[in-house]
Structure 1
Amino acid sequence: MSGQLVRDIMSPGVLDCGPDCPIQEVARRMAELDVSALVVTDDLGYLAGIVSRTDLVRARALAESLNAWTHLTAEQIMSTEVVTVTSDTPLGEASQMLAARKIHRLVVVEGPGPKSKPIGVLSITDIVREMAEE
């Protein structure tokens, strides 16, 4: 991992949905794509949040009925405090961020700042895969 950057092992591209995407569609896309989260982007492609499988299960558990659950949107259950890095971030630093915050993924953005466009994801799976290849 020494000397490597996030760009070296991140998953490029972003599997996303809009804030108004119905929760059933979010769940369907996650299942079809076999991913554990979708990045939520606004109409201009800027990062708005992230919805994980955990967010889906939590929403379902808190819903009074299946009918109530089906009316929710990504915006209503997404995490808005998304931890981000740039592709130039050292991989060791990104790994420390994941471990310290006990999270499974970092959204890779074009550049620092409050308004940023996602360009990829670095997950713990990417890091474990890299470790296995060393």
Structure 2
Amino acid sequence: MRAKDIMSSPVHTVEPGAPVEDAAALMAARAVTALPVVDGSGHLVGIVSEGDLLWRRVPADPTAQLSRRPAAPAIRPGQVAEVMSRSPITTRPDADLAEVAETMLMYDVRSMPVLDNDVLVGIVSRRDILRAMVRTDETLVREVQHRLDEYARGRWTATVHQGAATVSGAFTDSTEREIAAVLARTVPGVADVRIEPS
């Protein structure tokens, strides 16, 4: 499975000069945890997360023990540019989902913008990955079979066990076997594909 199979698109974005209140309101309205920050030309220049907004907006309790993070600024920032991360970790549409998840964990990020030749085409969150991973075999087999039937109705049959799909049937050549594998692999939640010619 690839990033493009589960990414959210189109992407809700915000500009660097937008008020932080607008970014917070957009996150709440769209139920997202981060917003890519784009300039006037649509180029990605940063990312702002819920954590960026909360850390710099909620006043610290002066009687509390020292936290792991530095103290929030005394003057509350007003624009997204003042709180955003300027070097966002990004991925590609064709990146393997396991690679995306590993990168998120390595850099402790919860969302990754998806760039295609430097153009923002989507965003992947940890929630997107979890949602794709917890789909039942029954759901997966229905979706795999639907895709197979659209291409070769009745010739190929799908089964799914613990996220691994098996496609069996009559294949005219290796190209058809590869097509069947690709069709099955594009279903979010399919972890592996095996082809069994009859």
- Measure the CA separation in 2 of the matches of 1:24 and 1:99: 28
**Alpha-carbon deviation of 1:21?**
0.1
Equivalent of 1:110 in 110, 116, 119? 116
Letter in 2 for 1:121: I
Question: What TM-score, normalized to structure 2?
Answer: 0.59
Picking from 81, 84, 87, the partner of 1:81 is: 87
| Larger helix fraction of residues | 1
Tell me what 1:39 maps to. Answer: 36
- State how 1:18-29 maps to structure 2 within 5 Å: 18-29=15-26
Higher relative contact order, structure no. (Cα contacts within 8 Å, ≥ 6 residues apart): 1
**Post-superposition shift, 1:92?**
1.4
SS in 1 for 2:45: strand
For 1:11, the equivalent position in structure 2 comes to 8
Matched with 2:124 is 122
Q: Which runs of 5+ in 2 are unaligned?
A: 59-71, 136-162, 164-198
What pairs with 1:50-65 in structure 2 (closer than 5 Å)? Answer: 50-61=47-58, 62-64=72-74
SS of equivalent to 2:109: coil
1:49-87 CA distance string (max 9 Å, x none): 0110100011114253xxx43x51011110011011110
Aligned match for 2:107, one of 96, 101, 107: 101
> Quick one: distance in 2 between partners of 1:6 and 1:38?
17
Find the aligned partners of 2:132 and 2:111 in 1 and give their Cα distance.
15
Distance across 1 between alignment mates of 2:31 and 2:99 = 27
Question: CA RMSD of the aligned region, Å?
Answer: 1.4
CA distance in 2, matches of 1:5, 1:30: 25
Q: CA-to-partner distance for each residue in 1:71-125, whole Å, 9 max, x for gaps?
A: 51011110011011110111111111112122111110112xxxx2211111111
Gap runs ≥5 in structure 1: none
CA contact (8 A) 2:34 2:50 kept: yes
Which structure has the bigger radius of gyration?
A: 2
Post-superposition, which runs of at least 4 consecutive aligned residues in structure 1 deviate over 4 A? none
The question of whether the paired residues in 1 share the 8 Å contact of 2:33 and 2:111 is answered with no
**Contact 2:91–2:112 (CA under 8 A) maintained in structure 1:** yes
1:126, 1:14 → 2: CA distance?
14
Q: For the residues of structure 2 that align with 1:34 and 1:94, how far apart are their CA atoms?
A: 21
Bigger mean CA deviation after superposition, 124-133 or 4-13: 4-13
